[in-house]
């Protein structure tokens, strides 16, 4: 389970909760412009590309990104989409044949906007090729955004679909068109105090604040997290400055996070929010916190040598950080 959101407040912010029952060696990784990307079933070699920063596991010096943004402020996140994700078994000569684990660098390397992304997607055939025998492919769909808007990309048995995403939120199953329909059931929700429309002859008043949003889902299912994240995002009020925006972004993610013990997988394991991230797409700063460490850590890609050819990696700060006042 995962939740990805976008937020515009002065600068553009993107990020996600990654909900999982295990760690995958994740770390913050900056890929500089001259790192060489090679692709399994495509002869293209990406050099002198846009730099990017995000969360990845690095295997054999290759960054397997869960989500990342490039220096132009384009963001791509892969979210779990089991059962519905279907990749192509055919190598098509008239297409760019790209594996799911290659999609993020393929799109971010040369895309300065969603317009560029759409052009690349029109030529892509996402193929059923795993990274290795020990690392089978996960069924994914993708949340992609720039500073103006966002889209969702899904590969199903019916082929690739690209949806406009006016909500700026993505979770997991069912497919995205369901979420766009489902949100219409919650049009009556409001952050304001409700008015009595129950019966004109009965005098009814509220007995507490927050009653305008009675019916807002609170469980951890993908459909419920989509609605709650969308409602909170649309009604969020950020304090001024970078700190206010980042703080509000993490508060939204906290409201749809998984607490240990609240979600048990079919294998009997605890599904938790292993980390939450927020990327300032304008400044190239990657913020994150982990399940056991709520202190926000920041990595500024522009403080690295972006003309380098070597990955820059930062291990996650996962231990609880408490300030003892006395």
Residues identified as active-site: 2
Residue 149 phi, psi (nearest 5): -160, 180
Radius of gyration of the chain (CA): 20
Helix (H, G, I), strand (E, B) or coil at 195: coil
Alpha-carbon distance of 22 to 273, in angstroms, equals: 10
The residue among 128, 134, 71 whose CA lies nearest residue 99 is: 128
Alpha-carbon distance of 157 to 305, in angstroms, equals: 43
Q: Are strands 52-59 and 62-70 parallel, antiparallel or unpaired?
A: antiparallel
Tell me the two tokens of residue 173: 């199953």
Alpha-carbon distance of 299 to 301, in angstroms, equals: 6
Helix (H, G, I), strand (E, B) or coil at 182: helix
- The DSSP string of 141-173 is EEEEE-SS-EEEEEEETTEEEEEE-SS-EE-SS
Q: What end-to-end distance do the CA atoms of the chain give, in Å?
A: 40
Helix (H, G, I), strand (E, B) or coil at 105: helix
Q: What angle do CA 83, 85, 90 make, to 5 degrees?
A: 125
- Compute the half-sphere exposure of residue 254: CA atoms within 13 Å on the CB side of its CA: 11
The answer for residues whose C-beta is within 8 angstroms of residue 268's C-beta and 6 or more apart is none
Q: Are strands 96-98 and 124-126 parallel, antiparallel or unpaired?
A: parallel
| Token pair 């329909």 in the structure block, residue | 181
């Amino acid at each position: 389970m995962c939740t990805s959101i976008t937020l515009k407040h002065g600068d553009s912010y993107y990020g996600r909760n990654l909900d999982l029952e295990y760690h995958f060696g994740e770390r913050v990784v900056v890929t500089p412009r001259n790192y060489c990307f090679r692709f399994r079933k495509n002869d293209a070699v990406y050099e002198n590309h846009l730099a990017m920063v995000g969360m990845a596991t690095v295997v054999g010096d290759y960054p397997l990104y869960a989500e990342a943004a490039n220096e132009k402020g384009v963001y791509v996140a892969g979210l779990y989409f089991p059962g519905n994700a279907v990749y192509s078994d055919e190598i098509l000569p008239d297409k760019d044949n790209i594996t799911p684990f290659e999609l993020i660098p393929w799109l971010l390397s040369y895309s300065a906007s969603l317009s560029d992304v759409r052009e690349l997607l029109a030529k892509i055939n996402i193929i059923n090729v795993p990274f290795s025998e020990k690392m089978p492919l996960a069924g994914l769909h993708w949340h992609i955004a720039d500073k103006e808007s966002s889209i969702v990309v899904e590969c199903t048995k019916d082929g690739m679909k690209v949806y406009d995403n006016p909500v700026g939120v993505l979770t997991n199953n069912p497919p995205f068109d369901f979420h766009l329909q489902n949100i219409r059931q919650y049009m009556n929700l409001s952050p304001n105090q409700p008015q009595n429309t129950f019966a004109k002859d009965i005098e009814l008043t509220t007995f507490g604040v927050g009653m305008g949003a009675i019916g807002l889902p609170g469980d951890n299912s993908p459909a419920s997290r989509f609605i709650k994240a969308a409602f909170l995002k649309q009604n969020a009020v950020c304090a001024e400055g970078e700190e206010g925006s980042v703080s509000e972004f993490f508060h939204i993610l906290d409201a749809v996070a998984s607490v240990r013990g609240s979600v048990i997988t079919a294998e009997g394991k605890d599904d938790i929010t292993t980390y939450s991230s927020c990327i300032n797409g304008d400044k190239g700063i990657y913020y994150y916190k982990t399940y056991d460490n709520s202190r926000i850590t920041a990595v500024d890609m522009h403080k690295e040598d972006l003309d380098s050819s070597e990955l820059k990696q930062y291990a996650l700060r996962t231990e609880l950080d408490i300030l003892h006042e006395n």
